Amino acid sequence: MSLGEGNTPLYEMPVLGSTLGLHRLMVKDAGLLPTGTFKARGAAVGVTRAKELGVRTIALPTAGNAGAAWAAYGARAGIRIVVVMPVSTPITIQRETAAYGADVWLVPGSIADAGAVVKRACAEQGWYDASTLKEPYRIEGKKTMGFELAEQLGWELPEVIVYPTGGGVGLIGMWKAFAELREIGWLRADAKTRFVAAQATGCAPILRASPAPPAACPARACGDPPPHSRASVPGRTVRRSRPPRSRASAPTHAGRPCAASV
């Protein structure tokens, strides 16, 4: 099931990079994806596989963009989508999800409470549970961010990837993509990057699970990176038999990029 997802542009941001003290800041514009966020990548593969398996009803909790993305792809596939949200979820997200035809349930409490409702309903009704890390296919969709980013940077990795993170599926997907590209020789065996998970204080499971204390990093509080550091963001499924010269390869001037996803 496709709504035209993938192949989003990677922009170099010299003015913002200079303001933040970053040598080569790049931003990957996920806002051009269907439903406006990178959640469309995971939903595309997750719903497609559910359709192949004969699933008739998918349920998942959300407090943000995932519910709308799964609702859109569910409408495309003709699968009923039940989305459980905390009552505090922004009204625009509630309306968008409902507009795609999903059944929207509002529950008191947090995303964890919504998840408990989904778990119970799936057990009782036999529905397909698409909660974070409850099925393996969303990761395969998010993995395309890593494929696309590597291709756009000429089969190299940025020094740092800053990624807006909820449950961490995108981080896992990109890590898996880079591991697979190293395994087949499209990336050097020693090609590495560093992930920075940016999380809201109200939903920060990755930071809470980290052995190191989380860093609060408002505006310019993080200081300058090392000289020649660069930043970049994620990408697209690769189906070619060998790595060609990318049409969207990174500029050739010195320094590995630093990437950010929006």
Q: Where are the alpha helices (DSSP H) in the chain?
A: 14-20, 39-52, 66-77, 91-99, 111-125, 137-152, 169-183, 205-209
DSSP string, 169-216: HHHHHHHHHHHHHHHTTSS-TT---EEEEE-BTTB-HHHHH-SSPPPP
Average pLDDT for 124-130 = 97
Lowest mean pLDDT among 123-127, 186-190, 206-210: 206-210
**pLDDT greater than 70 at residue 221:** no
CA distances from 37 to 66, 184, 204 (A): 9, 29, 19
CB 57 within 8 A of CB 262: no
Band the pLDDT of 213: cuts 50, 70, 90: low
Fold of 39-129: Rossmann fold (3.40.50)
Domain boundaries, the chain: 10-33+136-261, 39-129
Q: How far apart are the first and last CA of the chain?
A: 24
In the CATH hierarchy, which fold is given to the domain comprising 10-33+136-261? Answer: Rossmann fold (3.40.50)
The answer on pLDDT for 247 being more than 80 is no
Structure tokens at 190: 């020693």
Q: Would you say the CATH fold of 39-129 matches that of 10-33+136-261?
A: yes
**Residue 16, both tokens:** 């913002």
Give the integer Cα–Cα distance in Å for 120 and 1. 28
Q: Is the model more confident about 225 or about 161? A: 161
- Would the pTM of this model clear 0.95, i.e. be above it? no
